[in-house]
Structures are given as structure tokens and as C-alpha cells.
């Protein structure tokens, strides 16, 4: 498993919750939004286990809706517990990302 894959695995839940916080989305749409954000290696096969886990944890709920082009789609939306989890994840990310970025940037000044 690559370093990128390992890092992404640790933050993917927060990324997914962050997108769903803005609007209800279905799996394929979510995958595309993650790719547009620069996470090109996140496939649908990666997304569905994450969605299932988040739903089991009560952070999101799924609702079947009719599709204009084909079968019904399952749209996911954030629950109150999901909002709380996202807030906690964002806070932890800020507490980790700042120091890590500082350390990594300092590394370049010592070359």
C-alpha cells in the first residue's frame, strides 16, 4: 500500500462527510466530486465501503430517489451525529495538519 493510499484512508471519512454536508449526493456523484477536488485515485469501489461504514455509525442516512436516467439512486445526507463527527474530524485535522505542514516545510529549508 502506497504512502498516499495510507494517508488518504485516514482522512477519507472526513472528506466524504464534508461533501455530503453541502448537499445530498449519490455514490458515483460523490466519487466525481472527490476526483474534482484532486483525489483522483478515489474510485467508486473505495467510496461504497466508506458510505456503508458511515451509515452504520449513524453519520449519514441513505434515501432512494428516482433518477431521470435509469434506476433509482441512493442519496446520502448528513445526520446530526454526522455533523458532530465532521466538526470533531475538522478540529483534529487542523490540530494535525498545521504542525505536519510546518515540519515538512522546515525540512525543505534545511536542504
Number of domains in the chain: 1
Q: How do residues 5-36 score in pLDDT, each as one tens digit? A: 777 877 999 999 999 999 999 999 999 999 99
pTM here is 0.86
- Order of strands, edge to edge, in the sheet holding 73-78? 25-26, 73-78, 60-65
Task: Supply the range of the domain harboring residue 16.
Answer: 3-109
Q: How do residues 98-110 score in pLDDT, each as one tens digit? A: 999 899 888 666 5
The CATH number assigned to the domain holding 30 equals 1.10.10.10
Q: d(Cα 8, Cα 3) in Å, to the nearest integer?
A: 9
Computed over every residue of the chain, the mean pLDDT equals 90
C-alpha radius of gyration, the chain, whole number: 16
Amino acid at each position: 500500500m502506497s504512502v498516499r493510499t495510507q494517508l488518504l484512508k485516514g482522512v477519507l471519512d472526513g472528506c466524504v462527510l464534508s461533501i455530503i454536508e453541502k448537499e445530498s449526493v449519490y455514490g458515483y456523484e460523490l466519487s466525481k466530486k472527490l476526483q474534482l477536488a484532486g483525489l483522483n485515485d478515489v474510485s467508486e469501489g473505495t467510496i461504497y465501503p466508506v458510505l456503508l461504514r458511515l451509515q452504520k455509525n449513524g453519520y449519514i442516512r441513505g434515501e432512494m430517489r428516482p433518477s431521470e436516467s435509469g434506476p433509482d439512486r441512493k442519496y446520502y445526507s448528513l445526520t446530526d451525529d454526522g455533523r458532530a463527527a465532521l466538526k470533531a474530524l475538522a478540529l483534529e485535522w487542523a490540530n494535525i495538519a498545521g504542525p505536519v505542514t510546518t515540519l515538512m516545510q522546515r525540512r525543505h529549508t534545511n536542504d
